[in-house]
Amino acid sequence: MFGAIEAGGTKFVCAIGTGPGDLESGQIPTTSPEETLAAAAAFFRPYLGELEALGIASFGPVDLDTDSPTWGHITSTPKLPWRNCDLAGWLGRALGVPVGFDTDVNGAALGEARWGAGRGFSDFLYLTVGTGIGGGAMVGGRILHGFTHPEMGHIQIPHEPNDPYPGGCPYHTGCLEGVACGPAIRERWGLAATELPAEHPAWALEARYLALGVANWMFTLSPRRVILGGGVMQQSQLFPLIEKELHRILNGYITVPPAFLAPPVLGQRAGVLGALVLAEQARRVA
Ligand code: ADP
Ligand code: ZN
C-alpha cells in the first residue's frame, strides 16, 4: 500500500491505496506548514505498518534535483510561510518511509499516463488552467525535468490587440498565465469565470490564448496529445474553440493528430493518483 499527497495552496489531499479502485482519501486545509504537515502525518499514522512509500505532488516552485541539499523543498513560493519548507524530508522522517516528490502538474501527468487520457502515449502534455496555468510534459515515456522544472504557464505569447487587460502575473504581467488563468478572466471581464455564459466573448479570447500556448508547446515538444484540465477547462466549449484556433495558428505547417486535445479522465483525482505513482517509483529506488 502506498501513501499519496497532492499538496495544494488551499488544501492537501491525502490518500492511501494502490490505484483508482481502492484509493481512500481525505482533505486537510493548507494553513501553516507546521499545522498542515502534522495533520498530514496524522492521516497516515494508522497505516504505518502497511505503508511502503509516500508520493508527494506539490505546488511550487520546488527543488527536484536529487543531488541538491534542498531536494524536496518548496523554494520561492509567494506563500511566505511555505518558502524553503522541507516538505519531502519532514514527512519522510515523520513516517519513516521513502518519499517520491514532484510538482502537482507532473503528478497529474503521471496519473493520467497510468490510468487516464495519457495511457498509451509516450509523448503528451498535461495542462491545468485554473488559479494558475501549469504543465507537465511526458517526453519519451518520462516526465521532463531539467535545471528546475518546466514552468509552461509563464511562456511569452503575443498580446491580443483587442484585449485591454494587460495581464496579472506578478513576474511577467502578460505571460500566458497572466492573461488566461481563472483570476485573469475575472479581472478582465469583472465576472468570475464560473459566472460567464458559454456564449460570452471571453471564451473565444481564452481559446485564442490557450491555442497560442499549445502551438508553442507543439513546436518545442511535439506531443501526441494535450490533456487540458483545471477549473477553467470545465467550460467544455473551449475544446473546439481551441482546436479551431490551433489550426489557424499552425496554418498547415504541422498536422494536429486526431483526438489531440482531451479532457483528463481522472478529473480532480489526477494529482493524488500521480502521487501514488511517485510513491511506487520511490519504493523501487529505495
Ligand atoms: P486550482 O487551480 O486552485 O487548483 P481549479 O483548477 O479549480 O483550482 O481552478 C480554479 C479557477 O478555475 C478559478 O479561477 C475558477 O474561477 C475557475 N473555475 C472553476 N470552475 C470553473 C468552471 N466551471 N468554469 C469556469 N471556470 C471555473
Ligand atoms: Zn508569468
Q: For residue 195, what is the domain's CATH number?
A: 3.30.420.40
* Percent composition of the chain: helix, strand, coil (DSSP 3-state, to 5): 40, 20, 40
121 phi, psi to nearest 5 deg:
-110, 120
Task: Write out the chain's pLDDT in tens, 286 residues.
Answer: 999 999 999 999 999 999 999 999 999 999 999 999 999 999 999 999 999 999 999 998 999 999 999 999 999 888 899 999 999 999 999 999 999 999 999 999 999 999 999 999 999 999 999 999 999 999 999 999 998 899 999 999 999 999 999 999 999 999 999 999 999 999 999 999 999 999 999 999 999 999 999 999 999 999 999 999 999 999 999 999 999 999 999 999 999 999 999 999 999 999 999 999 999 999 987 7
Check whether residue 258 and residue 279 sit in a common domain.
Answer: no
> Which residue puts its alpha carbon closest to atom 22 of ligand 1?
194
Same domain for 137 and 89:
no
Does 40 map to a domain? yes
Domain membership of residue 180 (yes or no) is yes
Q: Which three cell numbers stand for residue 13?
A: 489531499
132 and 256 both lie in a single domain: yes
CB 85 within 8 A of CB 73: yes
Close Cβ partners of 277 (under 8 Å, ≥ 6 residues apart) = 55, 100, 107, 110, 111, 113, 114
Verdict on whether the full-model pTM lies above 0.75: yes
CA 178, CA 250: separation in Å to the nearest integer? 23
| Protein residue with its CA nearest to atom 11 in ligand 1 | 130
Which of the ligands is closest to the CA of residue 186? 1
Is 112 within the bounds of a domain? Answer: no
Q: Residue 45 has what pLDDT?
A: 96
Share of the chain above pLDDT 70, in %: 100
Binding site membership of 234 for ligand 1 (Cβ less than 6 Å): yes
- Residue whose CA lies nearest to ligand 1 atom number 10: 130
Q: Pocket of ligand 1, candidates 59, 104, 131, 233: which has the most ligand atoms within 8 Å of its Cβ, to mutate?
A: 131
Residue 113 near residue 124 (C-beta atoms within 8 A): yes
Whether 115 is covered by a domain: the verdict is no
Q: In whole angstroms, give the CA distance from residue 269 to residue 275.
A: 10
Q: Burial of 171 by CB count in 10 Å (0-12 exposed, 13-18 middle, 19+ buried)?
A: exposed
Identify whether residues 163 and 94 lie together within a single domain.
no
Domain that holds residue 251: 120-262
Q: What angle do CA 32, 88, 272 make, to 5 degrees?
A: 85
Asked if residue 89 and residue 23 are part of one domain, the reply reads: yes
Q: Which of 10, 194, 205, 237 to mutate to test the pocket of ligand 1 (most atoms within 8 A of CB)?
A: 194
Residue 61 covered by a domain: yes
Assigned C-alpha cell, 20: 483508482
**Does one domain contain both 125 and 157?**
yes
Is residue 276 one of the residues assigned to a domain?
yes
221 domain-assigned? yes
| Number of domains the chain is built from | 2
Identify which of 41, 51, 123 has the alpha carbon closest to the alpha carbon of residue 282: 51
- Indicate whether residue 231 lines ligand 1 (CB < 6 A): yes
Both 135 and 216 in one domain: the answer is yes
Beta pairing class for 142-143 and 133-139 = antiparallel
Cβ(230) to ligand 1 under 6 A? yes
Shared-domain flag, residues 166 and 79: no
- In-domain check, residue 48: yes
